[in-house]
A and B are shown apart, each in its own frame.
Chain A
């Protein structure tokens, strides 16, 4: 810590009609936390750079034309923030309904809680395409099931300059069909992956899962687990 002689500047704003005072640089997400007005978040994680992807954290700031991502926007003096008005709730609910219609969220407990909180219609988008991918079981440490990937980017970011500087992961395609991939979709062992496991640690869904956990779920015997997670063995689905 630097020897800070200057007092930290503080910011006073209104969140849901309550006055809040926070140090300069505090995001709206953190400021709202101080008065126990939890703002939902999916992509945000303390260990990764916030990119404003999921937009379920959006709030109404000064009644502006656009809703603002609370995970990124720093508080400013005099701001008037509404964290749960009709615009905000309608947007959040629609995002959650669309997400649920595209991705297998069964093993994402935090997202499930949100879906319940927002009482979403789980069948809102009949006949819509889901993002489905084959399970990738190509290394002894973890399996990848991108049908459960909600594209929070955390794995790509920890693999790159948020933590590991390994750069094994990227995105393939774009738009709805964006998916997490290695270079030319090679198996993990052929990529630059060093199997640090950081991506598995930050994944909010069942998309990245330790092999042992996967084996236990699938009723593997200890022998099978040992066999399938031994270093150097590669299996394809």
Chain B
């Protein structure tokens, strides 16, 4: 057992402030499998945080527990892609083998098995997250047989990559991380530090037409400029690597295969906004991607590409990884800041916006992984390099995550504008079986029918048919999929992930789930109920989670009204 005694863990955090809370709780959770009241009290003294607040944080995040867990904790994803691939069955088998119910620990304390939300390994569905406290192994694997999980013989996953261009994913064979030697010098950063002012870097990115790839599509260069201009100091960069939208796994693939591309992008952003400190906030369910980043940061630091006086200039940059603890809402930018600050992931009211009041209430540029990965090419080759790809309104390249019933699920790099049909039929080698529906944009997206798949994959093209590109998730369902079952899984996801702050979403996600749970035997009026709940969540919720929690359901009801019929 690698159980660092509590004192050793605590001594690492001596003198730290509240933002060390998630890191110290992670260390305790990892060593002991849970966080006891005594341990929490010790943390309360160490970091001078009220004990109640610490309890509030532990009980908010799914990967923290205040009750003992087994030496091995297996979490099986039951969201749509894994559900279609039979994860319920695997969960049942595991629990039967161990004679426990999902969520429970075996009496001998060796195993805990539970269901979990999307693990971002959808191309390998069904997937599980396995944490073996004894050996310290923490991994993320496709499940072929439940016995592999019990024997510890599960295979590591490898990226499945493809597409029409090979810029973001170049130099990777899907097998392993690109090292610094393979990646080469940070040429874009060197060019910026030698010959561009921070404003020129932002201007170049603005001219390229790059917009945020995290879902909201805000112009990236403009965000950098606003942050640079914000009067208060210090400025921060945050890389949003929380990627928890069901069906989305492109950021995981980028981090596992091309971490140096991301680090160079972060460095360029930091230079442009005048920051010396960057955080990468990565979801706790991505152990391999996190390790790849840690190794890459070490390589880059020893090569003088990040750290003090980068490339012997006056520019210094420290990049710190912060691990999330199981909360989709922490992908929402202000909830993410709260998490870094050691709090429950409650979104803040906007305005003020992150460019003036971000992490620690200081000016912050928060950008998605894929967004930042576009920066090195743009800065090195100039804005015009990016523009030939895509359309006037949707510029450049996009990574899409395809899962479900296609012959080759994976991450595909495409120029904006190819049709959904071309993506599925050419790149993904066709739909398995007869196409029934596509969920575009993830759980927060909308359903398309088979006669809508000629839509061009652009922001404007999808918007024109009432859909969205969102985070670039494409979930494909053939006619064997039970769409009621899919809707139930989506509704469970939102009910599980609502932070509970505002009433429309806190109550609406629960009521929406309850109605969909009974959709095989719907009550009279259920469709109206869903429609009122959806309307209210969409219009009156505080943040993007609630505002999109009914999108997929409402689109399904519009296209297939019979899904909820009394």
Contact = CB atoms under 8 A, between A and B. Distances in A.
B37 interface: yes
Q: How big is the B interface, by class?
A: 35 or more
In this complex, the member of B50, B349, B498, B532 whose beta carbon has the largest number of chain A beta carbons within 10 angstroms is: B50
A95 B55 contact: no
A183 B506 contact: no
Interface in B306-339: 327
Contacts of A170: 50, 52-53, 55-56
Nearest to B51: A183
In this complex, the member of A65, A72, A94, A170 whose beta carbon has the largest number of chain B beta carbons within 10 angstroms is: A94
Given A54-B503, A183-B51, A171 B540 contact: no
A98 interface: yes
Given A53-B501, A127-B518, A72 B495 contact: no
A125 B56 contact: no
Nearest to B36: A184
Interface string A101-139: 110000000000000000000001111110000000000
Contact of B506 (A51, A172, A178): A178
Contact of B507 (A58, A65, A102, A169): A102
B541 A55 contact: yes
A22 B211 CA distance: 38
Interface stretch (B11-19, B98-106, B144-152, B508-516): B508-516
B59 A125 contact: no
Interface in A24-75: 42, 51-56, 58, 65-67, 69, 72
A10 interface: no
In this complex, the member of A55, A90, A128, A168 whose beta carbon has the largest number of chain B beta carbons within 10 angstroms is: A55
Contacts of A98: 503-504, 507-508, 511, 533, 536
A101 B512 CA distance: 13
Contacts of A185: 55
B547 A91 contact: no
Contact of A176 (B50, B56, B509): B509
A175 B495 contact: yes
B50 A171 contact: no
Contacts of B53: 167, 170
Interface string B390-415: 00000000000000000000000000
B52 A168 contact: yes
Given A55-B540, A151-B500, A173-B59, A90 B52 contact: no
Given A72-B349, A99-B507, A176-B507, A67 B500 contact: no
Interface in B109-137: none
Interface of A is mostly: loop
In this complex, the member of A53, A174, A192 whose beta carbon has the largest number of chain B beta carbons within 10 angstroms is: A174
A171 B500 contact: yes
Given A72-B349, A171-B60, A183 B52 contact: yes
A192 B510 CA distance: 33
Contacts of B51: 183-184, 192
A132 B51 CA distance: 25
B529 A172 contact: no
Contacts of B344: 171, 174
A125 B5 CA distance: 50
B241 interface: no
A21 B60 CA distance: 43
B529 A90 contact: no
B503 A174 contact: no
Nearest to A74: B351
Given A51-B501, A53-B501, A167 B541 contact: no
A47 to B, nearest CB: 19
A54 B268 CA distance: 41
A94 B533 contact: yes
A123 B433 CA distance: 44
Nearest to B518: A127
In this complex, the member of B502, B503, B518, B529 whose beta carbon has the largest number of chain A beta carbons within 10 angstroms is: B503
B523 interface: yes
B361 interface: no
23 contacts: A52-B542, A58-B540, A69-B349, A87-B539, A90-B532, A91-B504, A94-B533, A102-B510, A128-B511, A128-B514, A151-B503, A171-B56, A173-B500, A174-B327, A174-B500, A175-B498, A175-B506, A176-B509, A177-B500, A178-B506, A182-B55, A183-B54, A192-B51
